[in-house]
Structures are given as C-alpha cells and as structure tokens.
Structure 1
Amino acid sequence: MIERTVTAHRRTGRTGGGRKMAGMPARELRPLPVPAGPQATTVLPALRRALDGDGPALLPVAPDGDAAIVEAMGADVPLRPGEDDPSNPTALVIATSGSTGTPKGVLLPAAALRASAEATHRRLGGPGHWLLAMPAHHVAGIQVLVRALLAGTPLEAVDAAAGFRPDRFATAARRSLAAPGRHYTALVPTQLRRLLDDAAGVAALREFDAVLLGGAATPPVLREQAAAAGVRVVTTYGMSETAGGCVYDGVPLDGVRLHVEAAEDGSGPVALAGPTLARGYRAQEAASAFRDGWFHTGDLGRVDGGRLEILGRADDVIITGGVNVAPVLVERVLTEHPGVREACVLGIDDPEWGQAVVAVVVPADPSAPPPVAELRTSVRDRAGAASTPKRIEFVAELPLRGPGKPDRRSLRATLTR
C-alpha cells in the first residue's frame, strides 16, 4: 500500500456571498450554454457569481443547450439537501458519463474550484494569462475560465469554428502572448499532436510558460516530441470529481492526497482526497465512489520514483487466456513505432481466449500503414506474448468522447458488428 500526502498551504479566498441564513430557499441549478471560441468569455460574469455564491449553481452545457443533459441533470429542480452548503456553495454541476455512459452530475463547491486553480498557479510559477483551446463545458475547459478569473487577467480563446485548427491556435496565441507576464494553455493529446505537425503551431507553443496536457492518456513518445520541439508540457491527471487535474507530472498538487492500494506488482486502484474534491453526485446521496473522504477513481496506477503512473481504467483491463493485460502499456509500444500516430487497445469477447487483444491504429501515413507483423512483433518483444494483438485495424482517426478521450464503447461496437 502506497500513499503520498502533500501538505496544503493555500488561501481559501471567498467561498460564499449570499444565502447564509438558515431557512432560505434551496438554490436554483441553471443551465449555462457555453459558446465555443472567443464568445466563451461571455459566461465569465455568471461564473464569478456562482463562485461567490451570489448567483445560482451552474450546469455548463454545449452551445446548443444540450436538452438531454439538462433533463438528465434535473436542471429544473433546485439543489437538494446535502447538495449545497451556504458556507461553501456548490458553484458548478459538471455532467460526466465517465466510463459507464450513464450521465452523472458532479457537485463542485466553490472552494474546490478555487483550491484547484490556486494550486495550479503555485505549481506553474504564479498566476498568468490563459488561452482557452478546448470546449469550456467540460471541466478542463471551465477551469481555464476559473483560473483566468482568479488571476484577474483577460482571457483569450481559440476560434473553434469548424473544429480545432493549428493556424487559429497560433492566431489566438499571438493575442494572448502580447500581454506581459506568464502565459499558459491547456490541451488534450490530439490537439498537441496536430500542433506539433504545424510549424506555426510549434512556434506558438514554445512561447507558453506551461502547456497543461490532460483529458486522455499521453503517449510518452508524444511528450518526448514536445520536449524536443522546446514545448514545456505538464501532464495532468484528474477528473470532474477532482475539479480537473490534481496530479501534475505524477506529483499531487498542494493539499491533494494520493493513495494506491498496491498489489505484488506495485499497481492497484487509485484514490484521491483533498481540497479539490467534489461533494458527490447530483441525486446520489450515497455514491460508492465517494467513501471516507476519498474519491475512488476506478483507475489503476502505480507510484514509481515518487510519481504516479496511470495504467488505465480497472474495467478496461483485458483478461486473455487468464492473463491480465493493461491496454495503455500496449498502446505505448504501438505509438513508439514511427509509422503509428495514435492507437487504442481493447478487449473483444473471444470463445477461445475469453477476450482477445485488439488494436485500432491510426497510421502516420494513411497511404502506407506499418506492417501488421512488425507491430505485433514489437508488442510481443516489449510487453509479452499475452499482450500481442490478435487483430490490428487501421482507421483514419479515433472516435473521441468528452474533451479528447478515445471512445472505447464506439470502437467496440464497430469491431463486433
């Protein structure tokens, strides 16, 4: 059993404005459609009121309003007992499906959002100017807005029309970098990969004091490419339930506690605690993931050299022929091949093996994918025979969900048709 604790040294800031008298009506939960691109800044006043407790709790949703999420989160029903606290109001309810596909509303108190933003600034070297490059109705995006509010700096955003484009990132970066001080942005691996393939994108990235990278597993080869290009990447691990990333480059932020229930091989379930933790789920008073002050993530990890390494979701582990295979380890081997751009590995039901290891690969050159036999040999030599994919499928791109995670459910459905 391994546990790492980092002592908190933080100022709490203002956590509540109105509604401090007992007997007042329950606070409203109001949908907050967050526009894409520069128009996202229009939600900053409402976000500030939610953080101060002077306005309703907010449910960030996509620009179209996302009626299904609004209904699933019960946005027409005020916050229930236990879902709010006048001394530390619930500022945001973040809709997340996690790995199950079932929508859940994560109740984030103002203090958790502030603690996360302030700890991030301390870790990165101080408050600075933020460039928003991802949808702000997800926790990683909305936290960029929160950090900008707390830093008191103008927020710039990438024009998101027709999707993420390196030239538009570079244009927005020039506006952000023109201001004096420190400069930060946050990306998912797919965005970073596209920027590294673009000269203007690389030139812009080099000017940032830190580029937070999260939302999905980061292949080591991608981080190496960024470092070689002079880009200061900081990998983040966290989720909506922890107010976004709370472990940076494998080390918990101030006040965050990390616990790994390690087995003989040093790996085990990951749990997190500390000031960035959500108070639970909307309409779920006794959610099993929140126990004894800890959030049990459902991820597997190990601590190596004092740093957390995530091995993937516990329910993504493939059991093939009685052997446990961690998909992320196979994906790392595949993405180190120069002919592979991205890879997603999953288990498909198999009458002989129980589950068969199957790899979905995005080739670096779609017209000349790497030889399947060569990829299988690389995995066998590096990760063992059990990890060797029984099947490798090439695709133009991986389907994504949320801010940038591979959509394993969609891939599995496609592979089993």
Structure 2
Amino acid sequence: MSLYHELCQRSADPRHPFLIGPGESLSLADMAQASSQCEGVAPGDVVALVGDFDASGIRNLLTLVDRRAIIMPLVAANHAQHEYCFASGHVDVVMAEGKLVRRQERQTAHPLLDRLRSRGHAGLILFSSGSTGMPKAIVHDFDKFLARFATPRPAWTTLGFLLFDHVGGLNTLFHMLYNDGLVVRPTARTVSAVLEDIRRHDVQLLPTTPTFLRMLVHSGLLNQAALPSLRLVTYGTELMDQSTLSAVANLLPQVDFRQTYGMSELGILRVRTRKRDELWIQIGGEGVKSRVRDGELHIRAENRMLGYLNAPSPFDAEGWFNTKDLVEIDGPWLRIVGRADSVINVGGLKVLPAEVESAALSFPGVRQAKAKGASNPLTGMHVELLCQPGEGVELSIDALRRHLGEVLPPHARPLRIRVGSVPTGHRFKQV
C-alpha cells in the first residue's frame, strides 16, 4: 500500500486540512494532484528537494516516498551549502519551486544507496549541523523511519516551527499526518509573527529551540493571557540553560514544558521530563536503550540511520552510538551538561562552554551567549565569551565580569569578554 493511501485510511476525513498557512491549506484529498510534479523521477534516484512545509513541498515529499526515491530535503536559506550537499549525497535530480530543475548523470555508486535500491525502499538523507567539521550526510531507510509513527498518539494543533531539512520538522509533519492532526505553517519565524499565529489559529503545541525561547523571553511580549490556547512547548536541538527555562516557565504558568532529545542519526526519541521547569530527563521508547560511559551518553536504537555517505560508521560492534553528550546522573534521571568535543582545557582543568554560557545568561540583559576556548601560552587555553544584549540594553562588561567572578570557579572565568551578535543558523540554534 502506498504511503498516500495508508494516510487516507488513517484519516477520519481526507478532505480535512492537515496543513494551513499563509494563504493556503492542504488536505490528503489534494494529494491526488501531486504525481505530475515528479515526472521524470525514477525509483532509486537521489532527489534534492528544495522546499518547505507548504503545499508544494509536502506534495512532492510524499509523492517521492511512494516513487521509492531517496530524498534529500533542503531549504533555500541554506543555499550556500547546496552544492556540497549535492556532491556528498550523490544527487541525481534537483527539484525546486515544485518542479524538476536539474538532472545530472550518476557518477559513482555508494553501498548504502545501493542497499536501499536493492530493497526497493525509499530513502532519506539529512545533514548534521556541521558544528564540528563539515556536515555529515546521514542516510535513513524511509520505511523504517516511518515505522515509528504507526502507533496512534494524540495530535494537537501544532506550529510547524522546525524546518523542512530538520529531523524534528519531519517528525512534526509525520506525527500530524499519521494521527489526523493539524500543522500551522508560520507566517514568519519571528517573535511577533509566531505569537500572532498561535493566537490566530489556537495553536496548542509549539516545538522550538532554546535560542528562540530566549528571544521570546527578551521580547517582553510573552504572557499567558496573550496565548490562551497554548498547552505545551517542547524544546531541543541544542542545550537549554536553566535561567531561560525558569523565566519562560514563570511567564507561561499554565503551559507544560518538555525537553526533546534526538539526533539526525537516531531520529527523535521518547523523553520523559521530571518537572516542567527542570532539565532532568529520561530517554527511552520502543527499541531504544541508553547508557552512560565515562560521563558520555550512548544510545542504541532500532530505527537508527544506515550510516554516513561521507564518513565512517559511528556505531560499535553492538550497535551503540556515542552521542558525545556529557551528562550528570541523579538516580534514573540524567541532565545534559555539554559536549565532549567542546570541552576547554585550562591548565589541566576542564571547562564546559555551556557552564560559562549559562552563567552569562543569568545576568540581566544578556540575551544570547557563546563561550569558546582560545590558545594561551601559560595555561594552554583560556575561555573567551561573546554576549549579545537584549534590544535597547546597555551591557556593562565590568558588571558582567564581577557577576561571573561570583558564580564561576577561577579557571572558568573568561579572560576576554566581547559584546556583539551571537551567530544563529537557519535552524534557530547557535552555530
């Protein structure tokens, strides 16, 4: 059975929209018109699909799954990396603006792609964030990727904040499709537009990032009275700091807050949060196991990726994946405190950038913070800090330095502090 017909059978009314947005809506009944847009795509073709969660992008995504293509979702905002993605993903066809715009001769084969073709399965190629080195091309069997949505679950009216090229965005879309839910496509991913979309469409669930939640807190526009429909905020894709979580939880006392956990290599995993305003979680779900080794979180998941197209496999002989996330443990609960590959060694003492950033974010007026290590002839490395103030805020570096001196140990205190804009990528996470 095709994915389209399976979704129609699960829907109470295929004519009812599952997506609404600026000037458009899309129902499963509308999908009957989709096939002509993918003419010329053959089973097993690697298709770079440049789009968004709009009618054209979703029509083509579902049609390509049914055509058993290997799909690489991309967004226009990341245009500078497209040629790298095409080469790393062995792309055969490029689709943009709802139509095939380029076909190129297949130069080389790859065992992972050939495995999908021999199975007759659709595939999915996603890219890592590239925060440490060039992005890795991650290959999933789309049939296995979709299997996680087979169990019926509640579906709330959800703002589609996470993007078309992100595993979290795809997770939102297919959760809604499989559970007869509704996705609201945002007018824009700005504070004012998101708040207005939540009000206009009675959005119940906002999946977003800690960076965007900090933007909401510092906007001064966030309060429970203005968002009566909102029931749940989920946050992930980067580390959350306690001061931001506490602030947003206080501003929205009737809203539940849940941390999500996932990686492009593993998909979005089931997470249980201890308290709405705490960072302690449990990770599990069907076919998922976790363990901690030397302070680092390891995950074994049945619905994991097949592997990388441009890097060695990261799985050990038993299928464990080292996430490189550093964690603290409190009985059955764990809290993510940083990344093993970003630890700063200051005179033999380890500093987590997240520890410094969290301390900076607890200082009034700091909207975003980014800590990094720099070479030092005496200690090997020292800490440097970039802080972005809230709009209209005059940030005193001397006062900030005194604050950090009170809350951080000597080796973790930044030697250099700058005020400026903290870079944020197209996925609304720090880069």
TM, length-normalised to structure 2 = 0.75
Q: Partner of 2:175 in structure 1? A: 147
| CA pair 362-290 structure 1, distance change in 2 beyond 3 A | farther
RMSD of Structure 2 on Structure 1 (CA): 3.0
Q: Deviations over 1:121-154 (max 9, x none)?
A: 85xxx22232112322222222222222222223
| CA pair 140-297 structure 1, distance change in 2 beyond 3 A | same
Q: Partner of 2:68 in structure 1? A: 55
| CA pair 97-219 structure 1, distance change in 2 beyond 3 A | closer
SS in structure 2 opposite 1:399?
A: coil
| CA pair 189-381 structure 1, distance change in 2 beyond 3 A | same
| CA pair 291-400 structure 1, distance change in 2 beyond 3 A | farther
SS in structure 1 opposite 2:131?
A: coil
Q: Partner of 1:312 in structure 2? A: 338
After TM superposition, the structure 1 = structure 2 runs for residues 15-414 of structure 1, keeping only pairs within 5 Å, are 27-35=44-52, 40-49=54-63, 54-63=67-76, 66-76=82-92, 77=106, 80-83=110-113, 84-85=115-116, 89-114=121-146, 117=149, 122=153, 126-160=154-188, 164-177=189-202, 183-196=204-217, 197-199=219-221, 203=225, 207-230=229-252, 231-244=255-268, 246-249=270-273, 250-255=281-286, 256-262=288-294, 268-284=295-311, 286-289=312-315, 291-364=317-390, 367-372=393-398, 374-395=399-420, 397-401=421-425, 403-407=427-431
CA contact (8 A) 1:29 1:79 kept: no
C-alpha separation in 2, matches of 1:277 and 1:141: 17
C-alpha separation in 2, matches of 1:229 and 1:88: 50
C-alpha separation in 1, matches of 2:227 and 2:285: 26
- Deviation of the 1:155 alpha carbon: 2.3
| CA pair 200-297 structure 1, distance change in 2 beyond 3 A | closer
| CA pair 278-43 structure 1, distance change in 2 beyond 3 A | same
| CA pair 201-31 structure 1, distance change in 2 beyond 3 A | farther
C-alpha separation in 1, matches of 2:364 and 2:206: 28
Residue type of the partner of 2:54? A
- Deviation of the 1:377 alpha carbon: 3.8
Larger CA deviation: 294-303 vs 275-284: 275-284
C-alpha separation in 2, matches of 1:116 and 1:60: 19
C-alpha separation in 1, matches of 2:226 and 2:269: 23
CA contact (8 A) 1:318 1:325 kept: yes
Residue type of the partner of 1:275? E
Q: Deviations over 1:302-346 (max 9, x none)?
A: 222422212222121000111111111121122112232221111
C-alpha separation in 2, matches of 1:275 and 1:72: 25
- Deviation of the 1:228 alpha carbon: 0.8
C-alpha separation in 1, matches of 2:225 and 2:54: 25
C-alpha separation in 1, matches of 2:332 and 2:258: 16
| CA pair 192-370 structure 1, distance change in 2 beyond 3 A | same
CA contact (8 A) 2:70 2:124 kept: yes
- Deviation of the 1:297 alpha carbon: 1.5
Q: Partner of 2:26 in structure 1? A: none
Larger RCO (CA under 8 A, 6+ residues apart): 1
CA contact (8 A) 1:167 1:200 kept: no
| CA pair 214-205 structure 1, distance change in 2 beyond 3 A | farther
TM, length-normalised to structure 1 = 0.77
Residue type of the partner of 1:57? I
- Deviation of the 1:301 alpha carbon: 1.7
CA contact (8 A) 2:88 2:310 kept: no
Residue type of the partner of 1:95? F
| CA pair 361-117 structure 1, distance change in 2 beyond 3 A | farther
CA contact (8 A) 1:188 1:214 kept: yes
CA contact (8 A) 1:106 1:281 kept: yes
Q: Deviations over 1:144-192 (max 9, x none)?
A: 22222222223211023xxx222321332245427xxxx3221112222
| CA pair 254-367 structure 1, distance change in 2 beyond 3 A | closer
Residue type of the partner of 1:270? L
CA contact (8 A) 1:169 1:201 kept: no
- Deviation of the 1:258 alpha carbon: 1.5
Q: Partner of 1:412 in structure 2? A: none
After TM superposition, the structure 1 = structure 2 runs for residues 2-21 of structure 1, keeping only pairs within 5 Å, are none
CA contact (8 A) 1:116 1:246 kept: no
Residue type of the partner of 1:381? E
CA contact (8 A) 1:277 1:295 kept: no
- Deviation of the 1:112 alpha carbon: 4.8
SS in structure 2 opposite 1:217?
A: coil
CA contact (8 A) 1:195 1:201 kept: no
Q: How many residues align?
A: 363
Q: Which runs of 5+ in 2 are unaligned?
A: 1-5, 8-41, 93-105, 274-280
Residue type of the partner of 1:151? N
SS in structure 2 opposite 1:207?
A: coil
C-alpha separation in 2, matches of 1:90 and 1:356: 48
- Deviation of the 1:201 alpha carbon: 7.3
Residue type of the partner of 1:391? R
Q: Deviations over 1:205-255 (max 9, x none)?
A: 552332111122111111111211223221222221121455453221412
| CA pair 62-203 structure 1, distance change in 2 beyond 3 A | farther
Q: Which runs of 5+ in 1 are unaligned?
A: 1-13, 16-24, 263-267, 408-417
Q: Percent identity?
A: 24
SS in structure 2 opposite 1:92?
A: strand
| CA pair 172-303 structure 1, distance change in 2 beyond 3 A | same
C-alpha separation in 2, matches of 1:339 and 1:166: 18
